[in-house]
Copies of this chain bind each other. A is one copy, B any other.
Amino acid sequence: MKVVITGGAGFIGLQLARRLTALGTLTGPSGRPEKIDEVLLFDVVTPENRPQGLDQRAKFVSGEIADKATVKRLFDRPDLSVFHLASVVSGGGEQDFDLAMRVNLDGNLHVLESARALGSRPRVVFASSIAVFGGKAMPKHVGDTTKQTPQTTYGMTKAIGELLVNDYTRKSFIDGRSARLPTVIIRPGKPNKAASSFASGVFREPLNGIECVLPVGTEAVMPLAGYRTIVECLVKLHEAPGDKLGEDRAVSLPSLDVTVADMIAALKRVAGNRKLGDIRVEKDPVIERIVATWPVGTTFERALALGLPKDPDLDSIVKAYIEDFLPR
């Protein structure tokens, strides 16, 4: 079978591709395990060099997800699954509303319509976000039964994505699943336009000996998850039997609800003798405003009941990053 990963050149896309090629099989539209012979990584750019840990089954295609014909060409065989990760992120969506609508709304529709057109009712895993929640009406704990009141264009388009995936599934066009992601850490490389970018930076920059400037205070609370756990959740959600998911195919993934101070403490515990870059707070009102709209407590009973994993603690996330990305 073929697996399409949109946003495939991004951090989670690449990690997922590595995991899928290592696994070698997924449940296909037939309902049986099928051998993966192609993992197509679609993104606006293709990596200059083949990323480590990916063999010839991984293919890269670049293009605009907002272009219907481009997306349709990716869906060229019935034995196919999709992980739809491509998205304008939260900060980027606040800067450019129209781009967020084209990528996150039109792009999502193109993926769903292309999957539907296959006629094989393929599994589609859509990456939603905890940013579907927000605002003054938001309860202290948010989860699968909470009304979605997004306060960013990013969150709004993700909430719409969940509704679409549910209805396309109800109509038997696809077999959809939406994974409602918390902030995923620790992303390597440079900061991105996500308002939550600092939640990776606060670990990454000091571990690389670079100063980290935090746009929010250390008392800020965020639901976080490690990338290894998130990749495993995406795979497990793909594999979950449809009847166990029921009508609402959107599942809040497990997260740790921690403060920035907790994050710094974990960093210092795990870093040991490493020399760390400084961390200082220089508040950014725009980022602060966005982060303030996010939930501080999460529930995720359905995810756990489906067998989706949860990080045991922050320390294990920091250890995994050191293992995967820092020189020995």
Contact = CB atoms under 8 A, between A and B. Distances in A.
Number of copies: 2
B149 A147 contact: no
Contact of A163 (B97, B146, B160): B160
Nearest to A250: B149
A46 interface: no
B147 A156 contact: no
B137 A97 contact: no
A147 B150 contact: no
A167 interface: yes
Q: Which of A97, A137, A148, A163 has the most CB of B within 10 A?
A: A163
Interface in A112-160: 135-137, 145-151, 153, 156, 159-160
Interface in A178-206: none
Contacts of A150: 163, 166-167
A248 B153 contact: no
Nearest to A139: B145
Interface residues of A, number: 24
A275 interface: no
Nearest to A161: B160
Given A136-B246, A248-B149, A164 B171 contact: no
Given A159-B163, A166-B156, A171 B248 contact: no
26 contacts: A97-B171, A135-B247, A135-B248, A136-B247, A137-B145, A137-B246, A137-B248, A147-B147, A147-B148, A148-B148, A148-B163, A149-B166, A149-B247, A150-B163, A150-B166, A150-B167, A151-B170, A151-B247, A153-B167, A156-B164, A156-B166, A156-B167, A159-B163, A160-B160, A160-B163, A160-B164
Given A146-B147, A149-B248, 19 more contacts: A97-B171, A135-B247, A135-B248, A136-B246, A136-B247, A137-B246, A145-B147, A147-B147, A147-B148, A148-B163, A149-B166, A150-B166, A150-B167, A151-B170, A153-B167, A153-B171, A156-B163, A156-B167, A160-B163
Interface of A: 97, 135-137, 145-151, 153, 156, 159-160, 163-164, 166-167, 170-171, 246-248
